[in-house]
Amino acid sequence: MFKVKLFGVAILFLISATTYCGDNKPHQETAQTSVPEKSICELLSKEEVGKIMGTNFEEATTSLHTVDASAGSYVSQCGYYTNKGLQHVAVLVRHFKGTTFPQSAEEFFAASKSGDAEIDAEMDKALQNHIKVQGLGDFAFFYSQWESNSLVVHWDKSYEMIISMYKFDLDEPTIEKIKQLAQAVKKLF
Protein backbone atom coordinates (compact mmCIF):
# COMPACT_ATOMS: atom_id res chain seq x y z
CA MET A 1 0.00 0.00 0.00
CA PHE A 2 2.80 2.43 0.88
CA LYS A 3 4.58 1.86 -2.43
CA VAL A 4 1.33 2.53 -4.32
CA LYS A 5 0.83 5.81 -2.40
CA LEU A 6 4.45 6.78 -2.92
CA PHE A 7 4.20 6.01 -6.63
CA GLY A 8 0.99 8.06 -6.86
CA VAL A 9 2.54 11.05 -5.11
CA ALA A 10 5.64 10.82 -7.31
CA ILE A 11 3.54 10.70 -10.50
CA LEU A 12 1.45 13.71 -9.43
CA PHE A 13 4.64 15.56 -8.48
CA LEU A 14 6.13 14.88 -11.90
CA ILE A 15 2.92 15.88 -13.68
CA SER A 16 2.71 19.18 -11.87
CA ALA A 17 6.45 19.77 -12.17
CA THR A 18 6.72 19.04 -15.88
CA THR A 19 3.43 20.42 -17.17
CA TYR A 20 4.72 23.93 -17.73
CA CYS A 21 7.64 24.30 -20.07
CA GLY A 22 7.64 28.08 -20.21
CA ASP A 23 6.63 30.55 -22.83
CA ASN A 24 9.97 30.60 -24.66
CA LYS A 25 10.24 34.34 -24.26
CA PRO A 26 13.84 35.39 -24.72
CA HIS A 27 15.43 37.00 -21.71
CA GLN A 28 18.88 37.89 -20.59
CA GLU A 29 20.61 35.08 -18.73
CA THR A 30 21.96 36.35 -15.44
CA ALA A 31 23.17 33.01 -14.09
CA GLN A 32 25.79 30.56 -15.22
CA THR A 33 24.81 29.39 -18.73
CA SER A 34 26.44 25.96 -18.63
CA VAL A 35 24.61 23.12 -16.93
CA PRO A 36 26.19 20.30 -14.95
CA GLU A 37 26.24 16.78 -16.37
CA LYS A 38 25.74 15.23 -12.92
CA SER A 39 22.33 14.40 -11.46
CA ILE A 40 21.01 16.05 -8.31
CA CYS A 41 21.83 12.82 -6.42
CA GLU A 42 25.45 13.14 -7.55
CA LEU A 43 25.62 16.86 -6.78
CA LEU A 44 23.93 16.63 -3.37
CA SER A 45 24.52 13.47 -1.34
CA LYS A 46 22.05 11.90 1.07
CA GLU A 47 24.50 12.78 3.86
CA GLU A 48 24.47 16.47 2.90
CA VAL A 49 20.67 16.53 2.72
CA GLY A 50 20.49 14.61 6.01
CA LYS A 51 22.73 17.14 7.72
CA ILE A 52 20.45 20.00 6.64
CA MET A 53 17.23 18.14 7.49
CA GLY A 54 18.53 16.65 10.74
CA THR A 55 17.63 13.18 9.48
CA ASN A 56 19.60 10.11 8.45
CA PHE A 57 18.56 9.34 4.86
CA GLU A 58 19.02 5.66 4.04
CA GLU A 59 18.84 5.92 0.26
CA ALA A 60 19.05 8.45 -2.57
CA THR A 61 17.58 7.55 -5.94
CA THR A 62 17.60 9.45 -9.23
CA SER A 63 14.14 9.22 -10.78
CA LEU A 64 14.70 11.61 -13.68
CA HIS A 65 17.83 13.01 -15.29
CA THR A 66 18.26 14.55 -18.74
CA VAL A 67 20.87 17.04 -19.86
CA ASP A 68 21.51 18.75 -23.18
CA ALA A 69 24.42 21.02 -22.39
CA SER A 70 24.58 22.44 -25.93
CA ALA A 71 20.95 23.62 -25.61
CA GLY A 72 21.42 24.72 -22.00
CA SER A 73 18.77 22.34 -20.69
CA TYR A 74 18.88 20.36 -17.45
CA VAL A 75 16.17 18.34 -15.72
CA SER A 76 17.03 16.18 -12.72
CA GLN A 77 15.13 14.77 -9.75
CA CYS A 78 16.46 12.88 -6.75
CA GLY A 79 14.53 11.28 -3.91
CA TYR A 80 16.10 10.98 -0.45
CA TYR A 81 14.42 8.28 1.67
CA THR A 82 14.36 7.60 5.41
CA ASN A 83 12.33 5.65 7.95
CA LYS A 84 12.41 2.57 5.67
CA GLY A 85 10.99 4.65 2.82
CA LEU A 86 8.06 5.99 4.81
CA GLN A 87 9.40 9.57 4.59
CA HIS A 88 11.17 11.26 1.74
CA VAL A 89 12.35 14.52 0.28
CA ALA A 90 12.47 14.89 -3.50
CA VAL A 91 14.47 17.62 -5.22
CA LEU A 92 13.68 18.54 -8.83
CA VAL A 93 15.67 21.17 -10.74
CA ARG A 94 14.85 22.31 -14.25
CA HIS A 95 16.69 24.81 -16.45
CA PHE A 96 15.86 25.64 -20.04
CA LYS A 97 18.01 28.42 -21.49
CA GLY A 98 15.80 31.07 -23.06
CA THR A 99 12.61 29.83 -21.38
CA THR A 100 10.77 31.83 -18.75
CA PHE A 101 9.02 29.86 -16.02
CA PRO A 102 5.92 31.22 -14.25
CA GLN A 103 6.67 34.26 -12.14
CA SER A 104 3.89 33.88 -9.58
CA ALA A 105 2.08 31.14 -7.67
CA GLU A 106 -1.06 31.92 -9.68
CA GLU A 107 0.79 31.34 -12.98
CA PHE A 108 2.38 28.15 -11.63
CA PHE A 109 -0.96 26.62 -10.61
CA ALA A 110 -2.73 27.77 -13.79
CA ALA A 111 -0.01 26.05 -15.86
CA SER A 112 -0.37 22.89 -13.76
CA LYS A 113 -4.11 22.44 -14.40
CA SER A 114 -4.85 18.99 -15.74
CA GLY A 115 -8.48 19.18 -16.79
CA ASP A 116 -9.38 16.58 -14.14
CA ALA A 117 -11.93 18.18 -11.80
CA GLU A 118 -10.63 16.48 -8.63
CA ILE A 119 -6.97 17.28 -9.28
CA ASP A 120 -7.75 20.84 -10.36
CA ALA A 121 -9.83 21.39 -7.21
CA GLU A 122 -6.82 20.26 -5.15
CA MET A 123 -4.62 22.68 -7.12
CA ASP A 124 -7.08 25.53 -6.41
CA LYS A 125 -7.03 24.62 -2.71
CA ALA A 126 -3.20 24.55 -2.73
CA LEU A 127 -3.13 27.99 -4.37
CA GLN A 128 -5.49 29.44 -1.76
CA ASN A 129 -3.36 28.11 1.09
CA HIS A 130 0.15 28.68 -0.30
CA ILE A 131 2.79 30.44 1.82
CA LYS A 132 4.99 33.02 0.10
CA VAL A 133 8.71 32.91 0.85
CA GLN A 134 11.08 35.85 0.47
CA GLY A 135 14.78 35.78 -0.39
CA LEU A 136 15.09 32.51 -2.32
CA GLY A 137 14.78 33.72 -5.92
CA ASP A 138 12.47 35.63 -8.23
CA PHE A 139 9.62 34.06 -6.30
CA ALA A 140 9.13 31.12 -3.97
CA PHE A 141 6.26 29.55 -2.07
CA PHE A 142 5.24 26.49 -0.07
CA TYR A 143 2.08 24.57 -0.81
CA SER A 144 0.43 21.41 0.47
CA GLN A 145 -1.34 18.81 -1.62
CA TRP A 146 -2.58 15.45 -0.34
CA GLU A 147 0.12 14.14 2.03
CA SER A 148 2.93 16.14 0.46
CA ASN A 149 4.31 19.62 1.16
CA SER A 150 6.38 21.37 -1.50
CA LEU A 151 8.57 24.41 -1.94
CA VAL A 152 8.66 25.96 -5.42
CA VAL A 153 11.52 28.34 -6.26
CA HIS A 154 12.08 30.13 -9.57
CA TRP A 155 15.24 32.15 -10.14
CA ASP A 156 16.95 33.90 -13.01
CA LYS A 157 13.71 33.30 -14.96
CA SER A 158 14.93 30.00 -16.46
CA TYR A 159 15.52 27.92 -13.30
CA GLU A 160 12.85 26.03 -11.41
CA MET A 161 13.31 23.98 -8.25
CA ILE A 162 10.62 21.99 -6.49
CA ILE A 163 11.43 20.35 -3.18
CA SER A 164 8.67 17.99 -2.14
CA MET A 165 8.40 16.39 1.30
CA TYR A 166 6.30 13.33 2.07
CA LYS A 167 5.35 12.73 5.70
CA PHE A 168 7.22 15.80 6.97
CA ASP A 169 5.16 18.45 8.77
CA LEU A 170 5.08 21.95 7.33
CA ASP A 171 6.03 23.52 10.66
CA GLU A 172 8.44 26.43 11.19
CA PRO A 173 11.55 24.30 11.89
CA THR A 174 10.92 22.18 8.76
CA ILE A 175 10.25 25.28 6.65
CA GLU A 176 13.62 26.70 7.74
CA LYS A 177 15.39 23.41 6.93
CA ILE A 178 13.81 23.24 3.47
CA LYS A 179 14.80 26.85 2.81
CA GLN A 180 18.40 25.92 3.73
CA LEU A 181 18.20 22.94 1.38
CA ALA A 182 16.95 25.22 -1.41
CA GLN A 183 19.90 27.57 -0.84
CA ALA A 184 22.31 24.60 -1.01
CA VAL A 185 20.75 23.44 -4.29
CA LYS A 186 20.88 26.94 -5.81
CA LYS A 187 24.62 27.15 -5.07
CA LEU A 188 25.13 24.15 -7.36
CA PHE A 189 23.85 26.15 -10.34
One pLDDT digit (tens) per residue for the chain, 189 residues: 333 333 333 433 343 444 444 443 333 333 445 688 999 999 999 999 999 999 999 999 999 999 998 888 999 999 999 988 788 999 999 998 888 887 888 888 877 777 888 888 887 788 888 888 989 988 899 988 877 889 999 998 889 999 999 888 778 888 899 999 999 999 998
Q: Using the 8-state DSSP alphabet, how is residue 31 labeled?
A: S
Distance between CA 106 and CA 110 in Å, rounded? 6
Whole-number pLDDT of residue 14: 41
Contacts of 18 (CB under 8 A, 6+ apart): 75, 94
Judged on CB neighbours under 10 Å (0-12, 13-18, 19+), 99 is buried
Whole-number pLDDT of residue 15: 36
Which stretches does DSSP call E strand in 17-84?
59-68, 73-82
pTM: 0.79
pLDDT by residue (tens digit) across 80-135? 999 887 889 999 999 988 888 878 888 888 777 778 888 888 877 888 888 889 89
Whole-number pLDDT of residue 183: 95
Distance between CA 34 and CA 69 in Å, rounded? 7
Average pLDDT of the chain is 80
Contact assessment for residue 137 and residue 56, using Cβ atoms and an 8 Å cutoff = no
Whole-number pLDDT of residue 95: 92
- The one-letter amino acid code at 145 reads Q
Whole-number pLDDT of residue 152: 93
Distance between CA 165 and CA 167 in Å, rounded? 6
Whole-number pLDDT of residue 170: 79
